[in-house]
Structure 1
Amino acid sequence: MDEDVDYMAVRPIHEMRFAEFANAIVPGGGAYLSRGDLTPRDDHARLATLWNIADRRVTHYVAWRRSPLLAQALPPNARRYEFHDVELCETTSALGLDSKSQQDIGKTAELVAIRMAWLAAVQSHGQQLVDEGRNESFDDGVADDFVRLSCQWMAHPWVKLQLLEYRTKKLAQQPAAAPVFSSDPSWPNTQVIVAESYQAQNEADYLAERESIDYWLNKFDTENRGWSSAFAIDAWDAADDIVIAKAKIDALERLLDSQRKHVQNLEQVVKQNKRRDAELFSNHSKPGRPHVSPKRQAIAQQFTAKWVKSLMTTLEVKSCARLEDIVRNSSQRNWRRWLSGHAVPTQSSLTDLQAAKVVRGQKKGLSLKDIATTPTYDELLQLVRLVPLSQGRLPSGLGLWAKP
């Protein structure tokens, strides 16, 4: 009977000691060139990222292609792992390996993936016990391994043995393993990333492996990356980025539509609050237009003038007319009144300037809010929002009156 079948038929993963599991599971995978920036976990942050095509990283992936039956017993998130090389450098050094060697980083990826997969399986079973209200405990050996791998996993005997065998094998190689660089004269400094391909050991494993879509995705992706030159790499990256960018545009448009609806709902809440405010407090001469504290108004005028002066200094302009000329969709009249302290920008007028871009000079292309000033654009906007204050009460719309 197949070794995987023996393990699966007799011992579930949560009953296996770590060394037993680690010896039974066989990592397979390799490495490929990927985008340089680490993908943000937050989806909104991911939508805002751009691919710097010149800053590539090596991504190491680990799957369990030669242990398909054992891998199927793992939680779905433990069936494949991907690590950027920069994520593994510190761990590789801590293991006593060379963090500048992609081969050593690849070994680290295997060890980390095996540890994470076993922990995930044990944690998944523990959560299942809690959900079902079952009062069961793990075997003492399993519990001991779980604590050890959660705290000082590099000191585990199995990990130490793997490192010893790896170093011994590496030293025996002649010549010593070294990065392989392309011999193509058009791009001689490009390091060649070699992905090792694994074949199933028997017919049953082979058939099971081919039933997984993940197998075909990896196979086709690897075959498509058989580039002949650096130009082919750039063309592939650019085509891939176009697909990603279009998907992001669709997602951002959906997000924008939802935000517009959210703003409309909030505007209704503001109107309801202002009407209720006028009903409750008859001293409001003009409903919806709170009184302004003269003291706050003076402070806002002071910092508005400082902001305009700082902006003019940063943009190297000496007149409000010139400021209007280089800041798109801005008004010389407003700049002059804000600079002289005769007026404070309204919240809406200041918000309209948020995306205004500089069209000339060293800061060309920058949005107004992204230019370093004292105070900053965001600080001034916050101050302007806080200035209106009805006498002795909270700003209209901030009380506990109308609900959305």
Structure 2
Amino acid sequence: MSMLYDGLSIPFKFFAESLKSSWRESVPYISCFETDDVYSIYLSGKLANELPEKVINQSFKESYLKPIATELNISLRKAAKLIALRNAWVTNFQERELPQISFHQLESQLNNEIAVDYVVLTSNSWTQHPWIVDQIRQEDSVDLLCVKPYTDEELATHHEFMKIEFERKMQSIEFCINQFKSQKGCFKSLLEANADCATYDVKRAEKRILELQDELRGQEKIIREATKVIRKYRDTERLLNNRLPGRQQKTEEELERIEIAKRFVAQWVISLKNVLEVNNCGELANAIGNQRMILGRWENKKALPTISSLRAISKNTIKFGKYAGTNTKLYEIQTTPSLSNLVNLIEFV
């Protein structure tokens, strides 16, 4: 397993120090609002091969970097590097690591360095992370890209421009949502991180449930098709055996099965008469649309119905007795034994 795949073993400090950052030539960014330089950071190293592609090469406008660099008193280069590393770690953890670990795994790790890294780096106070603070202290004071504080004139111009930009952005509902979130709370708590992981677990479980349901439907279809073939084969085999010349006498085992089946058929006929509240096989025949003589032979254990005959009458509507006029089918009547069990039994006689 790769190191980045097991996110819980990669603290941000180890992650950042394992990557190399290099500059790509800055190019001017020109729009109707401003002219800006764009600074690109390219991440390389062993771990870079395992990162999402979108964080390998990151670009930042000078107008975005300058306030951050000024506040921290560091160069644009250092600001871009720290932001790029922070973005890479958070994005990798959120998109590739969180879906792979369970809610209980994260819960059991909440007090370790990784959990603290995640909470701090996803907050507005991410520059207070110990490793980032240490990098700021090591800033080279002679770096030509080091940002000098704004002059009063620059501040006035900058603030006016930012005011106009802010008013323009406030026309977007997405910007307002992010603004409200920032005002409501500037960082994710441990409970929020815990809840994020639980949400991933739920989504992953829902996806797996859908996959299992599709698989189950496929297996049920195979079973239904196989059952039809098996029944057809057994019916054909039984028919051929009965028509073969010189058919041998039934074995004792076969005769015993037939007698057992006759006993259950008789029980079913009696149970059906009781449920339908009819007095004899004549009334029962009127109720289910069958011949009285055949029902009498079944009840007296003198004959055994075929599967085809039982299936044929199972769909008949009850026309006499308790359920007359209710459009109830014979297979819907609760008897002892049930009609479906009786069919399954006779199938193996």
Q: Give the TM-score of the pair, scaled to structure 2.
A: 0.36
Q: Which has the larger radius of gyration?
A: 2
The higher relative CO (CA closer than 8 Å, separation ≥ 6) is in 1
Task: Select the structure that is richer in helix.
Answer: 2
Q: Give the TM-score of the pair, scaled to structure 1.
A: 0.32
